[in-house]
């Protein structure tokens, strides 16, 4: 991990861009740090960090103000990272199926999501190795985001993740629903009930599958991007309960 | 409405038992009141107020401390109120169906719940008439409870109810799910995901049916009686947003 830029945002947040190999990432920390902080990995939406930045920063600011370090990395195939022909094809198939109002075949979801999860999860774990080696970061570690299948596998396989806020806003392969049974950490799932580009039943099946003794589903209205501010505050309090 | 007892609880809460006709009820208010307060109608579980009292008081205390008046009345067929042979038969049929692990026929749910709703809703409206006539109570009015079908119809038919916290912990007749489409106030629904004596799909169908622009579902683990403390606090913040 190599820091390449550093700027101070107006509310005493230090924003540092870094490269993890050739994967771009951003680390946000309070300007003044007195002791090693807990860390939140903020999974981005698959828009590219540049396009996702404004909404991502809205999620990040209150966390840093609360005393967390927050980090994100670019997803495979997003931003400037090389696209995958298979994923592009699957995305086109998904959009066609949604436009036709029909069900989305499992094969399309698998082709779109599983290679992304296979590639992204090791990258997030490598980022975590390097982030936890920084003197200002101590842990524990939460995951918040993003593509829910990535967060689900990460929570299932990496024991350093202590608690996860998961956004049920994307299609989920059946195989990931099976992996969710191995997740035992506290999970807090956000679902936009009227998300027009999502499969609500799949999200409920995934929530049902989590093996966690403590799991919470918060469903709200407002469409895919309309998570209400109070839902963000509730997710923040979930992290306070588990990371502080 | 006729007050019959009055006692001061240890944390500056005034508890007054009353009779509304022959229906027992309880009103809790802060000991000192400087201006007319908002009111929360606290729907009890169908256990009888005496048996429900300890858990009810756990729900009531933080509300009164926050500056609400809270009132409840005995449900038809609960406590000392005359039981209905039809409801007893339907409850026996429900328990038999649950013990057999089979689905519960709509007819059983209808027979158990619809007469209860038909009788209870006018009683709660009458209680509301009298409560709002008290000088210490000004409104707005929230409903929190209880048997979810009662709260649903009350929210659908009484325009004085401004916001409702509903506990999705009992079976719901199809007819009530239809009535939920006429509910337009903000609703905050609590669902115990692993509630052994409930029909989860029915609860989700009901949530889906609410016509409200703002509706939130909070699902948690812990069984029927295991609503986590933080879920109670979240419901409290919902009322703060809508009743203050």
**Each residue of B191-226: pLDDT tens digit?**
999 998 899 999 999 999 999 999 999 999 999 999
Does residue A23 have a pLDDT over 90? yes
Chain A contact present for B204, CB below 8 A = yes
Does residue A102 have a pLDDT over 90? no
Instruction: Please indicate whether, in this complex, the C-beta atoms of B219 and A216 are within 8 angstroms of each other.
Output: yes
Distance CA B177, CA B207 (A): 8
Which residues in chain A have their CB less than 8 angstroms from residue B231's CB? Answer: 216
pLDDT tens digits, A120-142: 999 999 999 999 999 999 999 99
Q: How many domains does chain B have?
A: 1
Q: What percent of chain A has pLDDT over 90?
A: 93
Chain B contact present for A244, CB below 8 A = no
Instruction: Please indicate whether, in this complex, the C-beta atoms of A219 and B207 are within 8 angstroms of each other.
Output: yes
Count Cα neighbours of B143 within 13 Å in the Cβ-side half-sphere.
34
A109 occurs within a structural domain: no
B207 occurs within a structural domain: yes
Which residues in chain B have their CB less than 8 angstroms from residue A237's CB? Answer: 230
Separate counts of helices (H) and strands (E) for chain A:
7, 9
Distance CA A224, CA A193 (A): 9
The pLDDT value recorded for residue A70 is 98
Chain A contact present for B194, CB below 8 A = no
Instruction: Please indicate whether, in this complex, the C-beta atoms of B216 and A218 are within 8 angstroms of each other.
Output: yes
The pLDDT value recorded for residue B218 is 98
Residues composing chain A: 244
Q: What percent of chain B has pLDDT over 70?
A: 100
Chain A contact present for B242, CB below 8 A = no
Q: How far is B50 from chain A (nearest CA, A)?
A: 31
B32 occurs within a structural domain: yes
A9 occurs within a structural domain: yes
Distance CA B120, CA B117 (A): 5
The answer to whether the beta carbons of residues B56 and B79 sit under 8 Å apart is no
Q: What percent of chain B has pLDDT over 90?
A: 93
pLDDT band at A30 (very low <50, low <70, confident <90, very high): very high
The pLDDT value recorded for residue A197 is 83
The answer to whether the beta carbons of residues A231 and A191 sit under 8 Å apart is no
B92 occurs within a structural domain: no
The pLDDT value recorded for residue A146 is 87
pLDDT band at A177 (very low <50, low <70, confident <90, very high): very high
pLDDT tens digits, A182-192: 999 999 999 99
Distance CA B39, CA A139 (A): 44
The pLDDT value recorded for residue B101 is 86
Q: How far is A202 from chain B (nearest CA, A)?
A: 14
Chain A contact present for B226, CB below 8 A = no
Residue B170's CATH number: 3.40.50.1820
A143 occurs within a structural domain: yes
Interstrand relation of A137-145 and B69-73 (parallel, antiparallel or unpaired): unpaired
Chain B contact present for A110, CB below 8 A = no
Count Cα neighbours of B173 within 13 Å in the Cβ-side half-sphere.
21
Q: Tokens in use for A6?
A: 């550093």
Query: Nearest by CB to B219, which of A213, A217, A220?
Result: A217
pLDDT tens digits, B128-169: 999 999 999 999 999 998 899 999 999 999 999 999 999 999
Chain B contact present for A215, CB below 8 A = yes
pLDDT band at A167 (very low <50, low <70, confident <90, very high): very high
Residues 6+ apart with CB under 8 A from B101: none
What's the Cα-to-Cα distance from A60 to each of A40, A70, A233, B202, rounded to whole Å?
9, 7, 12, 37
Look up residue A193 and give its DSSP letter.
T
Average pLDDT, chain A: 96
Distance CA B161, CA A191 (A): 27
The answer to whether the beta carbons of residues B150 and B183 sit under 8 Å apart is no
Residues 6+ apart with CB under 8 A from A236: A62, A63, A66
Evaluated on CA atoms B178, B180, B184, B189, the torsion sign reads negative
Query: pTM score > 0.90 for this model?
Result: yes
Count Cα neighbours of A12 within 13 Å in the Cβ-side half-sphere.
11
A108 occurs within a structural domain: no
Distance CA B172, CA A18 (A): 54
Q: Which ipTM value was assigned to this complex?
A: 0.93
A198 occurs within a structural domain: yes
pLDDT, average across residues B65-86: 95
Residues 6+ apart with CB under 8 A from A208: B193
Does residue A101 have a pLDDT over 90? no
The pLDDT value recorded for residue B103 is 87
Q: Which domain holds residue A54?
A: 2-80+116-243
Chain A residue with CA closest to B241: the answer is A230
Pick left, alpha or beta for residue A149 (phi over 0 → left; psi -120 to 50 → alpha; otherwise beta): alpha
């Amino acid at each position: 991990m190599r820091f390449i830029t550093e700027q101070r945002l107006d509310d005493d947040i230090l924003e540092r861009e870094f490269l993890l190999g050739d994967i771009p990432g951003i680390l946000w920390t309070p300007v003044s740090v007195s002791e090693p902080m807990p860390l939140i990995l903020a999974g981005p939406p698959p828009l590219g960090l540049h396009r996702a930045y404004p909404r991502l920063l809205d999620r990040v600011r209150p966390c840093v103000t609360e005393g967390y370090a927050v980090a994100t990395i670019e997803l495979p195939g997003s931003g400037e990272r090389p696209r995958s022909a298979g994923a592009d094809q699957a995305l086109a198939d998904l959009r066609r199926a949604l436009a036709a109002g029909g069900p989305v075949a499992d094969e399309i979801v698998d082709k779109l999501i599983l290679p992304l999860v296979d590639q992204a999860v090791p990258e997030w774990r490598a980022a975590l190795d390097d982030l936890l080696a920084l003197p200002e970061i101590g842990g524990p570690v939460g995951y918040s985001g993003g593509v829910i299948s990535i967060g689900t596998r990460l929570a299932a396989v990496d024991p350093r993740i202590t608690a996860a806020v998961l956004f049920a806003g994307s299609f989920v392969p059946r195989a990931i629903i099976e992996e969710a049974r191995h997740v035992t950490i506290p999970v807090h799932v956000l679902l936009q009930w009227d998300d027009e580009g999502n499969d609500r039943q799949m999200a409920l099946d995934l929530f049902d599958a989590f093996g966690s003794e403590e799991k919470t589903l918060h469903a709200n209205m407002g469409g895919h991007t309309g998570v209400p501010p109070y839902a963000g505050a509730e997710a923040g309090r979930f992290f306070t309960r588990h990371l502080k």
